[in-house]
Amino acid sequence: MDRVHKILNQRKIPWLQRLYLFLDPGLKASLFLKKPKCPSHSMSFAAGILVEAALAKGLYSREQRHREPGLMPLPHAKIESYRIFDAIAGRYDVINTVLSGGLHRIWRRAMRLSLPKRLNLTVLDLATGTGDVALELIKNPHVQKVRGLDLSKGMIAKGRDKISAAGLSEKIILDVGDAQKIPYSDASFDAVTISFGIRNVADVKLCLSEIYRVLKPGGRVLILEFGLPESRVLRSAHLFYLRHILPGLGRLLSGHATAYSYLNQTIEEFPYGAAFAELLTGAGFTDAQYRPMSGGIVHLYRGDKP
């Protein structure tokens, strides 16, 4: 233990990040690895320690450590996020409502209203979680069927129970699967949605490529994702909430030590606004655009397949 403290002091790790490191004993081993040589724009040194831990566990390759748009260096918690969601599935809906202040309902409604204006739509919802987005999308009278896909078996099980209770099992079908390897045929869907999940995939470009593949010509992708406000005042306030309030509140509500500890890092590192719209254009989508919501803490992106 003394050796760990000595290294922490030598490397000047902030006390909040020290606490995070000690929440997972497996991460402590990374303190004894060679100091990571991550580019300064890529991540903080403390995040680099988490990356070294993931490297030691074989969770991703050293080539992935250097950041480029669409292929992001991810700490252990992010790569294993679906397992965290398994652990908190029973409380997830309540946590989501509390942490968003109920604003998630407004964001989902905006997504539903942005669906293509055509009849008999078949929609795929990626990172579907407990099915709240799918249940929102089916309210659109033009939507005939929704398929939801998520890696978390616990979240899917919870979602299936909700859908069954709503009497919508014939219209909404949830499957366990990976957004980077979508298990459906080419040109199968009129629209693909993903809410607050794109930043948790290891290869964003691959995910966008898969979305493009399964969309029909003329189909639309709609993505809800966190971002940062342009206003300096709102940005500072939001960063304070993300870094110092949300992790503790999430831990209290979920009963899981690390479930929300990594959230601020994924939000701060992920491209948003025009930068993410460029990724959509690069993936082949036309008319890529975005709409800041709730002061800019969330963005709704859309792009069409020619």
The more confident residue out of 211 and 259 is 211
* C-alpha–C-alpha distance, residues 198 and 290, integer Å: 15
Around Cβ 212, how many Cβ atoms within 10 Å?
18
Burial (Cβ within 10 Å: 0-12, 13-18, ≥19) of residue 271? middle
Alpha carbon distances (Å) from 106 to 8, 93, 127, 131: 43, 15, 18, 16
The full DSSP string for 223-270 is: EEEE---SSHHHHHHHHHIIIIIHHHHHHHHH--SSTTTSHHHHHHHS
Q: Where are the domains of the chain?
A: 2-67, 87-229+261-304
Where b means 16+ CB within 10 Å and e means fewer, 214-224 reads bbeeebbbbbb
Tell me if 205 sits within 8 A of 180, measured CB to CB: no
Lowest mean pLDDT among 12-21, 139-148, 222-231, 294-303: 12-21
| Structure confidence by residue, pLDDT tens digits, 212-224 | 999 999 999 999 9
Residue 79 is predicted with a pLDDT of 52
| Structure confidence by residue, pLDDT tens digits, 144-171 | 999 999 998 998 999 999 999 999 999 9
| Structure confidence by residue, pLDDT tens digits, 255-281 | 665 656 677 788 888 999 999 999 999
* C-alpha–C-alpha distance, residues 283 and 210, integer Å: 10
Residue range 274-293: average pLDDT?
98
| Structure confidence by residue, pLDDT tens digits, 3-15 | 444 444 544 444 4
Residue 93 is predicted with a pLDDT of 73
Max distance between CA atoms of the chain, in angstroms, equals 66
| Structure confidence by residue, pLDDT tens digits, 50-107 | 434 433 444 333 333 333 334 334 444 445 565 666 666 667 777 778 878 889 999 9
DSSP one-letter code for 34: P
Residue 247 is predicted with a pLDDT of 80
* C-alpha–C-alpha distance, residues 83 and 211, integer Å: 23
Query: What phi, psi does 96 have (nearest 5°)?
Result: -60, -40
Specify which residues 173 forms β-bridges with.
147
Residue 216 is predicted with a pLDDT of 98
Given a cut of 60, is residue 285 above it in pLDDT?
yes
Specify which residues 286 forms β-bridges with.
304
Average pLDDT, the chain: 78
Residue range 39-57: average pLDDT?
36
The more confident residue out of 33 and 102 is 102
In the CATH hierarchy, which fold is given to the domain comprising 87-229+261-304?
Answer: Rossmann fold (3.40.50)
Residue showing tokens 């990594």: 262
Which pair of structure tokens corresponds to residue 176?
Answer: 């366990």
Alpha carbon distances (Å) from 56 to 39, 50, 148: 19, 10, 33
Residue 167 is predicted with a pLDDT of 97
Tell me if 34 sits within 8 A of 7, measured CB to CB: no
**Of 301, 102, 121, nearest in space to 195 by CA:** 301
Where b means 16+ CB within 10 Å and e means fewer, 120-130 reads ebebbbbbbbb
Which pair of structure tokens corresponds to residue 110?
Answer: 């905006």
Secondary structure of the chain: what % helix, strand, coil (to 5)?
50, 20, 30
Residue 89 is predicted with a pLDDT of 63
- Specify the amino acid at residue 185: S
| Structure confidence by residue, pLDDT tens digits, 226-258 | 999 999 999 999 999 888 888 888 777 766 656
Residue 250 is predicted with a pLDDT of 72
DSSP one-letter code for 285: -
Residue 245 is predicted with a pLDDT of 87
Residue range 164-192: average pLDDT?
97
Residue range 109-127: average pLDDT?
97
Given a cut of 90, is residue 138 above it in pLDDT?
yes
Given a cut of 70, is residue 296 above it in pLDDT?
yes
* C-alpha–C-alpha distance, residues 205 and 200, integer Å: 12
Residues in Cβ contact with 141 at an 8 Å cutoff, skipping those fewer than 6 apart:
none
The more confident residue out of 84 and 128 is 128
